[in-house]
């Protein structure tokens, strides 16, 4: 019994402290004011049970500069092993907004679809309908815009790193 209690405490209770940081400085994810990705919904649950579920604070991971909540230790571990597989496309921004000029509209976790293994979250029912009307063309446009945004972030990170480099000694 004591051993079972230790497993629960170590596996669940202390999981709050474990984090995973992406080495990709251009990884971007939308977060609310508290720094929580996709309003605290478990991004793995969309893939495994096919519905949005609120995650729990004691099952969290930090990735792409934001905190992600999960419903279970298993989901947290799955995400930690392959965050790109489970994270929503375009950092959780509306894909149609991304396709129409790179607009970074935060998406609503309840408006979603999985297509070709990728999770897409939408700003509204209207943007989801517009996205689906010409998904192939919208996907191409959104990917171009998203790559442009990631390049800008990468460039800014490089410039910030250069600014922090100490001047050479005489």
Give residue-wise pLDDT tens across range 25-39. 345 677 888 999 999
Query: 125-133 and 135-163 helices cross at what angle (nearest 10)?
Result: 110
pLDDT tens digit string along 112-136? 999 999 999 999 999 999 999 999 9
* Mean pLDDT, rounded, for 7-30: 41
CA distance 55 to 126: 27
Answer whether residue 8 shows pLDDT above 70.
no
Q: Which pLDDT does position 9 carry in this prediction?
A: 35
Task: Give the pLDDT confidence score for residue 4 in this predicted structure.
Answer: 40
Q: How many CA atoms lie within 13 A of 128 on its CB side?
A: 16
- C-alpha distances in angstroms, 36 versus 61, 70, 101, 163? 10, 11, 26, 29
Is 70 in contact with 59 (CB distance < 8 Å)? Answer: yes
Residue 15: pLDDT over 60: no
What's the confidence (pLDDT) of residue 51? 96
pLDDT (tens digit, 9 = 90+) per residue, 42-95?
999 999 999 999 999 999 999 988 999 999 999 999 999 999 999 999 989 999
């Amino acid at each position: 019994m004591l051993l079972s209690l230790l497993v629960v405490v170590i596996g669940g209770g202390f999981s709050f402290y474990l984090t995973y940081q992406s080495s990709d400085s251009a990884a971007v994810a939308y977060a609310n004011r508290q720094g929580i990705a996709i309003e605290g919904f478990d991004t793995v649950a969309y893939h495994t049970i096919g519905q949005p579920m609120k995650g729990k604070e004691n099952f969290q991971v930090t990735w792409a500069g934001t905190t992600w909540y999960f419903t279970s230790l298993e989901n947290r571990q799955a995400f930690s092993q392959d965050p790109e597989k489970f994270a929503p496309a375009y950092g959780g921004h509306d894909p149609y907004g991304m396709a129409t000029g790179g607009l970074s509209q935060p998406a609503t976790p309840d408006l979603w679809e999985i297509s070709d293994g990728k999770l897409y979250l939408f700003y509204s029912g209207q943007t989801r309908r517009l996205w689906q009307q010409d998904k192939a063309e919208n996907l191409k446009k959104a990917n171009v815009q998203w790559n442009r945004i990631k390049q800008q972030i990468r460039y800014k990170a490089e410039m910030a790193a250069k600014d922090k480099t100490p001047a050479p000694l005489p």
